[in-house]
Amino acid sequence: MIKLVEICEILNASKGLKRRYTLREIYVNPEHVVSLRAATAYKQKLAENAMPKDLDSRQEFTRLMLNRGQSGLEVVVVGAPEVIENKLRIRGVLHG
């Protein structure tokens, strides 16, 4: 299992369904990773100050697709795809 930091989207109903984001640690089994791709929309949200204040303005984000049997789970984590790939120690073909 590999520890990553996930971006979680929260709708704030008291402020007119305004979206805000928080961070939380998740553990991912590298064998269940199907694909990695850049999550460029989150870079824009960071520029708009919608993300947690403790993130550096140069930060990049990756969308992970995880295999859950007959369905998939998609999560966005902190880090460029190359960095996440290195953390997961994926070499060559992704599983899935």
DSSP code string of the chain: -EEEEEEEEEEEGGGTSEEEEEEEEEEE-GGGEEEEEE-HHHHHHHHTT-S-TTS-TT--EEEEEEE-SSSEEEEEEES-HHHHHHHHT--SSPP-
% of the chain residues with pLDDT over 90: 50
First-to-last CA distance in the chain?
17
Residue 81 lies in a domain: yes
**Which domain, by its residues, includes 16?**
2-88
What's the mean pLDDT when you consider all of the chain? 86
Give the predicted TM-score (pTM) of the model.
0.82
Q: Is the pLDDT of residue 27 over 80?
A: yes
28 belongs to a structural domain:
yes
In a domain, 94, yes or no: no
Overall domain count for the chain? 1
